[in-house]
């Protein structure tokens, strides 16, 4: 059995931390008493009230760079217990016949390839400690498939498959690997949609509203905690009642 005394303060790395859900997750984990490193591609965009103990650059499409960035952040924190990956892009919302192959490949490389790179680099640090939490933000689009969002939906379905596979593979290691599948959340990502598309997305949610970044951060807080110790390879719902499974 791999158990660790977790009375001591814990450390987390948040990837895709300068905006939207990632920024909210940083705030929440700091409020929970964790020491947090914030990593993002957009290093010029840190929120003014950024509470992270460490900030750094990462491009999740560069696997070697991901390992170096996560390793550097962990070294700066004196170790890491939790890695949350919020990096992702929506890409163009266009009919599939008008979507270039290169666009599809770019979105898959970032959303799915990035999730794999973050998972792999995180496991290398967490497995020797015998404790850890890896959390990815997938999407309801990966379960249901949103029209005109083939690449995005496929990338998020891939993230769901990734956490199911890796969660099972390392189930006995003390490291859990899970995802959250949100419906539309009020962030810059959905503000990039047309008003018509936003109306469609909202109408699909039985609660009749978009989610908030703080609701996602609250769920991350639970999954990241030692209390969430018997769940791995799972996709947590955050859809205001939209998801059927």
Ligand X SMILES: NC(=O)c1ccc[n+]([C@@H]2O[C@H](COP(=O)([O-])OP(=O)(O)OC[C@H]3O[C@@H](n4cnc5c(N)ncnc54)[C@H](O)[C@@H]3O)[C@@H](O)[C@H]2O)c1
Q: Which range binds ligand X by CB under 6 A, 20-28, 48-56, 97-105, 221-229?
A: 20-28
Residue from the set 22, 56, 132, 240 that interacts with ligand X by CB under 6 A: 22
- Toward ligand X, which CB reaches closer, 107 or 166? 107
- Toward ligand X, which CB reaches closer, 51 or 188? 188
Residue ranges in 147-206 that form contacts with ligand X under rule CB under 6 A: 182, 184-185, 187-190
CA angle 33, 36, 41 (to 5 degrees): 155
For the question of residue 170 being annotated catalytic, the response is no
- Toward ligand X, which CB reaches closer, 175 or 220? 220
Across-strand partners of 55?
38
- Toward ligand X, which CB reaches closer, 182 or 233? 182
C-alpha distance from residue 50 to each of 12, 22, 33, 244 (Å): 15, 11, 15, 36
**Quick one: which H or E segment has residue 121?**
helix 114-126
Across-strand partners of 84?
14, 135
> 175's torsion region: left (phi>0), alpha (psi -120 to 50) or beta?
beta
Residue ranges in 36-65 that form contacts with ligand X under rule CB under 6 A: 40-42, 58-61
Report DSSP state, residue 97.
G
Distance from C-alpha of 14 to C-alpha of 28, rounded to nearest angstrom: 11
List 131, 152, 170, 245, catalytic entry: 152
132 touches ligand X (CB under 6 A): no
20 touches ligand X (CB under 6 A): yes
What residues contact 109, with CB distance under 8 A and at least 6 apart? Answer: 61
Residue from the set 80, 110, 160, 219 that interacts with ligand X by CB under 6 A: 110
Where along the sequence are the contacts to ligand X (CB under 6 A)? 16, 18-22, 40-42, 58-61, 86-89, 110, 137, 139, 182, 184-185, 187-190
Instruction: Name the residues annotated as catalytic.
Output: 152
């Amino acid at each position: 059995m791999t158990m660790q005394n977790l009375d001591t303060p814990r450390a987390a790395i948040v990837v895709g931390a300068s905006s939207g859900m990632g920024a909210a997750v940083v705030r929440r984990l700091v409020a929970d008493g964790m020491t947090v490193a914030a990593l993002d591609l957009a290093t010029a965009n840190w929120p003014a009230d950024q509470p992270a103990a460490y900030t750094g650059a990462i491009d999740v499409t560069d696997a070697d760079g991901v390992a170096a960035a996560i390793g550097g952040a962990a070294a700066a924190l004196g170790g890491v217990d939790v890695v949350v990956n919020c990096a992702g892009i929506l890409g163009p919302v266009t009919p599939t016949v008008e979507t270039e192959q290169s666009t599809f490949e770019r979105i898959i490389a970032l959303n799915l390839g990035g999730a794999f790179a973050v998972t792999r680099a995180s496991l290398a640090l967490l497995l020797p400690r015998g404790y850890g939490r890896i959390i990815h933000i997938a999407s309801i689009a990966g379960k249901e498939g949103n029209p005109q969002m083939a690449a995005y939906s496929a990338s998020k379905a891939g993230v769901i498959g990734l956490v199911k596979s890796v969660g099972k593979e390392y189930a006995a290691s003390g490291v859990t690997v899970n995802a959250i599948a949100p419906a539309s959340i009020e962030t810059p990502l959905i503000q990039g949609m047309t008003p018509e598309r936003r109306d469609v997305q909202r109408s699909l949610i039985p609660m009749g509203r978009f989610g908030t970044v703080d609701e996602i951060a609250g769920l991350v807080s639970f999954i990241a905690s030692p209390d969430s110790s018997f769940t791995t390879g799972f996709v947590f719902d955050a859809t205001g009642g939209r998801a059927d499974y």
